[in-house]
Amino acid sequence: MSRLFSPWRLRGVELKNRIVVSPMCQYMAQDGVAGEWHRVHLGSRAVGGAGMVIVEATAVSPEGRISPGDLGLWNEAQEEALRPIVAFMRSQGAVPGIQIAHAGRKASTAPPFRGGSFLSPGEGGWPILAPSALAFGSGGSPREMSEAEIGRVRESFVGAARRALSAGFDYLEIHMAHGYLLHSFLSPLSNRRTDSYGGSLDARMRFPLEVLDAVRKVWPEERPLGVRISAVDWVDGGWDLESSLVLARKLKERGVDLVDCSSGGIVPHAAIPVAPGYQTAFSERLRKEVGVATLAVGMITDPAQAEHILVTGQADGVALAREMLRDPYWPLHAANRLGVEFPWPAPYARARS
């Protein structure tokens, strides 16, 4: 019996296997509205056999976008555009998930395939919000958020969660990683506030945990809620694994079912030792020391590697990103490699080897 292809229950939701399509920004939306690209991109990964497909980081407000091409979930048109995509993913046996986010000081940039540079208001950009007035690299200068703005952003997350529920998603993930707004509150490298939202670890965790508490209240008890974290900043004096263990305990206490363990993104100069499975030690520590379910992510490409991660207790599931861009049907091929009987979509069955 393959662990990778065993069922996985999170609250009232069951995944048919432990393969997750990681949220991957496509930068192809118009005014935050999903289009044909998203239908095909997400639909093909569901057809490919993944247990869960998580929609890319979806902005909770216009200024929360990374780029003008980001998906959004702050109005009815955006919600309605996602509804048929969700229905199709579910029809193919994939649990539909979505990650909601605010880009913070990494907002207002061109898509990476158009240079990724900062966009001024005259170039179609917008004002940037952050815990402190510290720019990300050569990006735009953010404004330190007032407490009123903190409250408005918190309510934007709640609104996006309600729309995600209305659109039919079964899994919701809050983005607290990669240098975006909630992570930038957590890290001492980006949060230099002197009020109750900065300074000590507890104070830096305050706003992300307020967002979590508010979202958990509107997200149904029977549906799982996850959080993506950057387990370490990879910079001396930054967010570290011990801080992540403290945070993970608080996340679990507040009803988080799954911690998606990534890393980095808070500063552009971090030296990250990227290699196959380079982040699995983080998911393993959180899983074993906190007792929370974890997702391993980062340079997972081979079926035997994914199976090994799960069998050895490094994580409860694996999330694949770039490998799923290269091969939307990775789960079908992985089943063949591992000798697992796994159904192919009927129109493709004649191609099964």
Q: Is residue 296 within 8 Å of residue 281, measured between CB atoms?
A: no
Do the Cβ atoms of 270 and 234 come closer than 8 Å? yes
Question: Quick one: angle between helices 201-218 and 147-167, nearest 10?
Answer: 30
Catalytic residue among 27, 171, 180, 197: 180
Indicate if 180 belongs to the active site.
yes
Sign of the C-alpha dihedral, residues 149, 155, 160, 163? negative
Q: Cα–Cα distance between 167 and 249 in angstroms, integer?
A: 30
Return the structure tokens found at 44. Answer: 């093909």
Q: Which of 169, 242, 252, 257 is nearest to 209 (CA)?
A: 252
Cα 143 → chain centroid: 25
Distance (Å, whole) CA 93 – CA 45: 11
- Tokens in use for 75? 């109005």
Tokens describing residue 60: 């909770």
Q: Tokens at residue 235, please?
A: 């910079």
Q: Looking at the annotation, which residues are catalytic?
A: 180
